Amino acid sequence: MSTVYDFSVKDRSGNMVSLGEYAGKVLLIVNTATGCGFTPHYDPLEEMYRDLRNQGFEILDFPCNQFANQAPGTEDEIHEFCTLKFGTDFPQFAKIDVNGDTADPLFAFLATEKPFIGFGKGLKNLALKKFSDANNKAFGDKAYIKWNFTKFLVNRQGNVIARFEPTENMDDVRAAVAAELAK
């Protein structure tokens, strides 16, 4: 059985990084965008990182421009935006695709391990589903990720244990991370 440690990804400079370097840590792997309605998630993500990283926690940030072109710019421009506007200090990797034939293998794996089960209830969630369905129609059965700021929680053994859609309450995400760190 594969774990996230079997994958390598590109850092912002284009160098390959083995996720095996994060073995033994609890990970939250996130596809992000700088121009999305969920971009304010950077604030609670950074707060969580600042508060929990000394307990063996890492956030791995992967910008993605596949959702209504909400992550324009170069890796350096995206990084500058995130550090200046939100003070992010967690690792940010190269911009990637998360859907379709060009999807990064890590995200195809993550989504296969924890498939999409919905955005939840409520008018806002229904509206996002309609917009997401239209955006992701081109990816067919390779529409692994439905929108920006989808988060995957990975335990210390490299297994994907939870998926959080962008509509999930960030307090619930933090509680799940804290519970995993306490194990």
**Among all residues, which ones are annotated catalytic?**
36
Burial category of 67 from C-beta neighbours within 10 Å (exposed 0-12, middle 13-18, buried 19 and up): buried
| Paired residues of 26 in beta bridges | 57
Cα 33 to chain centroid, rounded: 10
Give the CA distances from residue 95 to residues 68, 75, 85, 135, in Å, rounded to whole numbers and listed in that order.
Answer: 15, 6, 19, 19
